[in-house]
Amino acid sequence: MTAPAPQAPELLADLVRLGVADTAQRIRAAGDPGPLLGAMADEAERQAISDPRRALDATEALVALADLLAIRSAQARARRARGQALAYANRFDEALAVLRDAQRIAGTDAPVEGARAGVAMIHALARLGRLREAAEVGEQAREALAGLGQPVLAARADVNLGVVHRMLDRPEVALACFDRALPALADAPTVAAQVHSNRGEALLDLCDFAAAERAFSDALGTFERAGANRAASIAEGNLADLLARQGRHGPALHHFERARMRLASEGAPGDAARLAIEQAEAQYTVGLLAAAGATYRAAIPVLEEHGMQAETARARAGFSRVLGLEGSLEEATRVAQRAAGDFTALGQPVAAARATLILGQLSIMAGARMEGRALVGGAMEGLRERPADLAAAHALLSADSLRAGDGAAAAGEAEAGLALARGVGLVHLEPTLRHARGMALRALGHSEEAADELELAASELGRLRGTIPTDRFRATFASSHGEVMSDALEALLGPRVPRGVARAFVVAQMGKSGSLLDALARHAGAPPPAEAAEEPSQELVRAHERLRALLARLQESGAGGPASAALRERIADAGREIEQVSARLAARAGYHEIAGAPASLEEVQAMLPRGWGAIEYVQVRAGFSAFVVLRGGAHAVPVGPVGPVEAALERLRFDVARVVARSAAGLPPGSPASAERSLSDLHDLVFSPLAPYLRGVEGLIVGPVGALHAVPFHSLRDADGYLGERLPIVQTPSASVMARLGERGRAAPGGRPLIVAVADDAAPGIEREAEALRATIPDAVVLTGQEATLSAVAHHAAGAPLVHFATHGAFTPGPAGASGLRLADGWLTAADAARLRVSGSVITLSGCDTGRVGWAGGDELTGLIRAFLGAGARAVLGTLWPIHDRTATEFLSRVYALWYADAGTGAAGLTKALQRARREFNAGGVHPAFWSPYFVVGAL
């Protein structure tokens, strides 16, 4: 290192600003220009780390200045600095040319400078994939520097050599280089931090996760303190990669997002693309296939453009896995073959073996079993020092053996994989391997042991889900592991399994509305999420505004008007955008490793009011089953296939649509016979199999699943009439959700009920409804017409024991936040509703389709009800289809009158009031399409 020259930074800045000639004059005037030029080169290299763009300008001028001054060593030095700057800007070919020029100029006159140029070449050669050449050049330079009595410089050569050996899949050699370098670098903390970061990568290759995490964290801290943003981003990206490989999804996504933010401010697209492929690997692990595929597609051309061959091959390998799971086996095979070939050409046998493992998997998926197993076997040879890869290979072979009917081999492979995964702490692989082992044991007839293992797999998955930030990611994760839950349920409900029903019940709870349960656990005892760590984001605000505007346009465009389909698609897009931005903000803000605890069977039995029963539906592959829970016992009952239920629901929706159309055309609704038939069919399909277990119950809690969320359980009809006339019925996303909602208690005393009413020409009854409710609830705050703004509603809803919305509703399946309620100044979207402070409140949504939900894997729900429950509401009254304005006014006015006449005793009272009102309206000959859509979800 050249001796410090305080004026070097200023001179370098002036050089760019004033030009070469002026600076040359100043340097000549200052005395011996050699040391000063060296100091300026040092400064330019520092800039290359922290500000590559500025360094490029500075080094270009510096080379010109050195040439003008014609000092040989300074010319070589300036070119070395220029080479470093070009390499940091990912312009590797240019960097190499400049560094060769530096070596040529240095010649025998400046051997140290020549060797240092050689050291600088290692990085550029490596990034261009010329790894063996890089190792040779580096070794020569290191030996030269050691021989010239330059231990610090030799250590720097070792650092670069270590990186190259790592890329050559020789992590042990790399580690030795780094360890040899460190003692000589004690006085250069930033460089030492870089070595720690590199050591971390080598340790990661060797699956020494704990040591690797320490190394990355140390490096990150040092870079942050030194203000080396880009180096910090790389260290943080490495840390994220490490965490993702261990299945620690929450912290991984947090650090990825932070690294992405750091790199966004740097001019380093190659590094950003490298980070992106690591992030795509994490997305793949969580099950976000579409997102991972998109990330790979975007990153591959950037990596290619910057000549980052090893990273390009890594991206292709990852991309091929995504393509395979998406079913594009031919394309996946082509991409994986290319990756394997590229790794081989780059001299990276371990990486090539990983790509071969993928090829084996793809062959097995394509039905070429023997060929696939041979490829896997070959890959395992190349991966024998890599326990994480071997564990994945064993999982693959286990599944294949099971499919081929060889239970013993499947069990053996799974056990071998489990031992490896446990040995290196790969918690995210354990559920997959346990699942494989459990299925193998089941095939071998070891029912009890199989049930134990599958139960454990399901339980570990539930815990892993809790480490994933944001509902969207959790839902995707649950969806991609749905088979484990189904298999665990089947095994636990099989013969000879002790306490099978009770244990299966808990597994079922893990597979239903997990993210809602997590949200309730996260906010338990804490303020609702209104102020929960969502930093102001213009991007998010704009996305919300766009969604509100689109919802308004949808309503203006007409009920199913020509633009309706396109608008709906745009609304879904806006909803997805809100989800994505929110996910990024959440990941940036931190992570919460909280998984809501599922309720046990005993807990649910204790929660049941005396005389009540509960039905918890589950879907196992294409069939429904149900747990019937009574205080004194529980049964698991097969219900029937999904298809006929969906068909019956379709018929019911058609019946309702016809009644709605006739009413809108000014005609009477017509005969209820067709709707009654549909409701009877649904009764036979989803309730009759359970009825024998529920004789004599006085009330019913129903936890639907999947398509059953659209079933009006209270209107199921048998020979004795409608179920909801005989029994109060309350629904819940899952028994666990109901239990946790119940624990939260009611809204704090002192709050005033809120009535929100936004009438218009199409629905003038809304105004009358508000008046009727005002008479029933005299202490209510009433916001009507222009008073019912978004901000006024948010203000008055906070702490209100009851919030009644009478307004237009819109349901958008898919994105969580895209459904809404119309207010005076825009739409209150589900995303807005999720941030209201309604803990313990009862919410009634007197609008069209307000209780409809979308559902994804793990039965994660979207829609207004999910949003309000997530915000802490104790119970929500929603509607399953469009509601008739006049009848809604009459029906709900009556419900409230009955409810408040009974002293307004919370959701239990509301449910009973609904039951009585239904009876009255049905007795009065009102078509069931008008009084059936209303139902209550939540805690009693």
Which residues contribute to the site for other proteins (CB under 8 A)? 554-562, 564-565, 568, 654, 657-658, 660-667, 670-671, 674, 760-763, 766, 806-810, 822, 846-849, 882-886, 888
Q: How far is the CB of 565 from other proteins (least distance, A)?
A: 6
How many Å apart are CA 717 and CA 725, to the nearest integer?
10
Our CB check for other proteins shows the closer of 562 and 924 to be: 562
Distance CA 766, CA 673 (A): 29
Q: Which is nearer to other proteins, 605 or 850 (CB)?
A: 850
Q: How far apart are CA 172 and CA 206, in angstroms?
A: 8
* Residue 526: CB minimum distance to other proteins, A: 35
Q: Which is nearer to other proteins, 209 or 827 (CB)?
A: 827
**Shortest reach from residue 663's CB to other proteins, in Å:** 6
Closest CA to 618 of 463, 455, 504: 504
Task: Taking the CA atoms of 785, 786, 788 and 789 in sequence, report the sign of the dihedral they define.
Answer: positive
Nearer Cβ to other proteins, position 560 or 778?
560
Cβ proximity to other proteins: between 748 and 762 the closer is: 762
Question: To the nearest whole angstrom, how small is the minimum distance from the Cβ of residue 884 to other proteins?
Answer: 6
**Nearer to other proteins (CB atom), residue 91 or residue 884:** 884
Nearer to other proteins, 2 or 555 (CB): 555
Nearer to other proteins, 87 or 892 (CB): 892
What one-character-per-residue DSSP string does 95-124 give? HHHHHHHHHHHHTTTSHHHHHHHHHHHHHH
Q: How far is the CB of 681 from other proteins (least distance, A)?
A: 12
**In the complex, least distance from residue 787 CB atom to other proteins, rounded to whole angstroms:** 19
Minimum CB–partner distance for residue 883 and other proteins (Å): 6
Tokens of 212: 């690797």
Q: How many CA atoms lie within 13 A of 473 on its CB side?
A: 27
Query: Measured from the CB atom, is 337 or 674 closer to other proteins?
Result: 674
Q: Among residues 68 and 824, whose Cβ is nearest to other proteins? A: 824
Which of 731-743 are b and which e, b meaning 16 or more Cβ less than 10 Å from the residue's Cβ? bbbbbbbbbbbbe
Q: Least distance in Å: CB of 761 to other proteins?
A: 8
Smallest gap, in angstroms, from Cβ of residue 656 to other proteins? 10
Q: Other CB atoms closer than 10 Å to residue 178's CB: what's the count?
A: 29
User: How far is it, in rounded angstroms, from Cα 211 to Cα 698?
Assistant: 60
Which stretches does DSSP call E strand in 539-622? Answer: 612-620
Distances (CA, A) of 541 to 83, 392, 585, 829: 44, 43, 12, 13
DSSP code for 24? H
Q: List phi, psi (to 5°) of 608.
A: -65, 130
Long-range contacts, 216-222 (Cβ 8 Å, 24+): 216/242, 218/193, 219/193, 219/194, 221/193, 222/189, 222/190, 222/192, 222/193, 222/196
Alpha-carbon torsion (787, 793, 797, 798), positive or negative: negative
Of 10 and 556, nearer to other proteins (C-beta) is: 556
For other proteins, the closer of residues 201 and 885 by Cβ is: 885
The DSSP 8-state label assigned to residue 3 in this structure reads P
How far is 940 from 938, CA to CA, in rounded Å?
Answer: 7
CB atoms within 10 A of CB 486: 19
Compute how many other C-beta atoms are within 10 angstroms of the C-beta atom of residue 27: 22
Phi, psi values for residue 386, rounded to 5°: -115, 90
Q: State which residue, 517 or 571, has the beta carbon closest to other proteins.
A: 571
> By three-state DSSP, how is residue 49 classified?
helix
Q: CB of residue 645 vs other proteins: minimum separation in angstroms?
A: 18
Question: Rounded to the nearest whole angstrom, what is the least distance from the CB of residue 719 to other proteins in the complex?
Answer: 21
Nearer to other proteins, 31 or 666 (CB): 666
Q: What's the closest the beta carbon of residue 568 comes to other proteins, in angstroms? A: 7
Q: If 0-12 CB within 10 Å is exposed, 13-18 middle and 19+ buried, where does residue 761 land?
A: exposed
Q: Give me the least distance between CB of 936 and other proteins, in Å please.
A: 18
Identify the three-state secondary structure at position 863: coil
Residues with Cβ within 8 Å of residue 750, at least 6 apart in sequence: 799
Least separation in angstroms between CB 799 and other proteins: 27
Q: What is the distance between the alpha carbons of residues 173 and 607, in angstroms, rounded to a whole number?
A: 62
CA distance 234 to 120: 19
Dihedral, 283, 288, 290, 292 alpha carbons, nearest 10:
10
Query: In whole angstroms, what is the distance from residue 575 CA to residue 814 CA?
Result: 8
Residue 707 CB, nearest distance to other proteins (Å)? Answer: 15
Contacts of 777 (CB under 8 A, 6+ apart): 753, 755, 802, 896, 900, 904
CA distance linking residue 823 with residue 759, whole number of Å: 9
Q: How many CB atoms lie within 10 A of CB 526?
A: 10
- Round to whole Å and give the CA distance between 248 and 256: 12
Nearest residue (CB) to other proteins, 672 versus 699: 672
> Closest CB to other proteins among 320 and 846?
846
Q: How far apart are CA 353 and CA 551, in angstroms?
A: 52
- By beta-carbon proximity to other proteins, the closer residue of 148 and 661 is 661
| The two structure tokens encoding residue 790 | 């978004």
Minimum Å gap between C-beta 676 and other proteins is 12
In Å, how far are 554, 808, 848 from 564, measured between CA atoms? 6, 16, 17
> Which alpha helices (DSSP H) does 665-783 contain, by range?
673-682, 723-726, 735-744, 765-776
d(C-alpha 606, C-alpha 223), whole Å? 55
Task: Find the shortest distance in angstroms from Cβ 888 to other proteins.
Answer: 7
- Min dist CB 551 to other proteins, Å, is 10
